[in-house]
């Protein structure tokens, strides 16, 4: 990995450590799972992603490296929800073909998602790291509204693109629930130049996604 690529990876890794920002209750909506099993609140400007064949629509929900966790993995999953940060505040720009000498970082997509890992039928299996998903490493435990979740740092990469995120998993009523917070960025020498994703931008994106995650609660 060259120094510029390393800098890009370090930057998006910083995003995982930024703190959620405060939000006004009037600026949120509530999502309730179709089976009534859980709910969470989300920023009203989020885009509700819909699964279509092997991808997600609309464009806000997609990147070179997928950000809705349901399509990121090689094991069966049931997707309940995927909400994307709107792209219109930032510039999504393609990487020029053949450009590998990266130094600029620009926003592609960022999401909060909830899914069930259908293949994990035990608590032990649910809370273990899964090597089939790019890279996934243990990051500790956290509680969300009184429920303990295992936390994993996740990541994947493609030509000119990186995805970093956090997965939060818990075993509840015989099912393995996963909450995902993911950010995809592109990096390269852009011509003409495009707006770079700043630390302030990343903090805002992560803050709003983490608010949805922190509001998650089981209803039964």
Residues 126, 176 contacting (CB under 8 angstroms): yes
Residue range 24-40: mean pLDDT, rounded: 88
Which structural domain range is residue 126 located in? 3-218
What pLDDT does residue 200 have? 78
Q: What is the pLDDT of residues 110-136, one digit of tens each?
A: 899 999 999 899 999 999 887 655 577
| Mean pLDDT for the stretch of residues 160-179 | 89
Percent residues over pLDDT 70 in the chain: 63
The DSSP line for 25-92 is GGGEEEEE-TTSSEEEEEETT-EE-EEETTEEESGGG--SS--SGGGT-SS-EEEEEEEE--GGGS--
Tokens of 151: 């936390």
135-149 average pLDDT score: 91
Confidence at 93, pLDDT banded by 50, 70, 90:
very low
Q: What's the rounded Cα separation, in Å, for the pair 65 and 62?
A: 8
* CA–CA gap between residue 55 and residue 53 (Å, rounded): 6
- Give how many domains the chain has, as a whole number: 1
- DSSP for 135-174 reads EEEEEEEEEETTEEEEEEEEEEEETTEEEEEEEEEEEETT
pLDDT of 94 above 50: no
Confidence (pTM): 0.80
pLDDT at 184: 81
| Bridge partners of residue 136, in order along the sequence | 154
């Amino acid at each position: 990995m060259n120094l510029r690529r390393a800098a890009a990876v370090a930057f998006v890794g910083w995003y995982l450590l930024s703190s959620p920002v405060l939000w006004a209750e009037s600026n949120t909506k509530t999502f309730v799972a179709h089976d009534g099993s859980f709910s969470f609140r989300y920023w009203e400007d989020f885009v509700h992603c819909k699964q279509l064949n092997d991808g997600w629509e609309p464009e806000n929900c997609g990147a070179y490296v997928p950000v809705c966790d349901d399509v990121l993995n090689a094991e069966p999953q049931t997707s309940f929800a995927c909400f994307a940060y709107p792209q219109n505040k930032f510039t999504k720009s393609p990487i020029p073909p053949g450009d590998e000498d990266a130094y600029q970082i620009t926003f592609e997509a960022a999401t909060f998602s909830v899914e069930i890992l259908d293949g994990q039928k035990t608590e032990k299996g649910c809370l273990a790291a899964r090597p089939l998903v790019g890279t996934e490493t243990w990051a500790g435990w956290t509680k969300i509204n009184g429920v303990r979740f295992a936390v994993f740092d996740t990541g994947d990469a493609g030509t000119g693109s990186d995805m970093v995120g956090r997965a939060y998993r818990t075993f509840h009523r015989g099912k393995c629930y996963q909450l995902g917070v993911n950010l995809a960025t592109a990096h390269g020498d852009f011509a003409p130049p495009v707006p770079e994703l700043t630390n302030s931008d990343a903090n805002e994106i992560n803050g709003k996604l983490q608010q949805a995650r922190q509001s998650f609660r089981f209803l039964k």
